[in-house]
Amino acid sequence: MTKAFIFLGPPGCGKGTQTDILSKELNLPHVDTGSLLRKNISEKTEIGKIAQGYIDKGQLVPLEVVSTVIKNRLMEDDCKNGYILDGFPRSLEQAGALDKIIEELNQKIEMTAVYFDIPTEVLVERLVNRRSCPKCGKIYNIKTSAPKVENKCDDCKVDLIQRKDDTKETALLRFETYEKETHPLLDFYTKRGVLKTINANQPVKDVWAELAKIAGI
């Protein structure tokens, strides 16, 4: 049986940080469409060229593009025993596409959708203060979880970067997209009986405690 976790929540809710912890604990790959798309952009692939304009505007990249990226990733060997989906699906049509991909890959799935519940007011601040390591992907917040040396990754010692779409203007557009496209998924996975909700408006270790319980750790 393949364990699939689907992490849902607005931009900056802490899904990425928690996925990293869960991924290490359960030895499951972290499949993050945002990072996969950004990798395509930095490698200047065809997919990257299409994705760039949508990402800059805080809009969803078209279905065929993200479906291709996800399908290719889920076909890789390390996804055989399960995976944690962070940032996919992000709309009802993507949820349908995911079901189709799982069927095509003939995976027997035990699915758990986890909603990171947090008021959006606190998130703009989080996003504009977010920095990450370009090498290992570790996420920092310059106000609440700053690196030991200013703007350097604690582990890799390289300069941290700020995502281009983590500005206030683009963040607000991303929230709008989230409300319109992604929020309806909560109802979709509730009806399917697989949705669990955690309070994401607390320190990382407390969010993790709730998530660990859900994951049976």
Quick one: 88 or 116, whose CB is closer to ligand AMP?
88
3-class secondary structure, 109: strand
Residues near ligand AMP (CB under 6 A) are 11, 33-34, 37, 54-55, 58-61, 66, 87-88, 90, 94, 165, 174
| Residues marked as catalytic | 15, 90, 130, 163, 174
Strand partners, 197: 115
Nearest-approach distance from CB 85 to ligand AMP, in angstroms: 9
CA dihedral 194, 200, 204, 205 (to 10 degrees): -60
Taking CB atoms, the residue at the shortest distance from ligand AMP is 34
Quick one: 66 or 84, whose CB is closer to ligand AMP?
66
3-class secondary structure, 110: strand
Nearest-approach distance from CB 173 to ligand AMP, in angstroms: 8
Quick one: 20 or 165, whose CB is closer to ligand AMP?
165
Nearest-approach distance from CB 149 to ligand AMP, in angstroms: 25
Buried b (16+ CB within 10 A) or exposed e, 165-189: bbeeebbebbbebbeebbeebbebb
Q: In this structure, what token pair is assigned to residue 120?
A: 């959006």
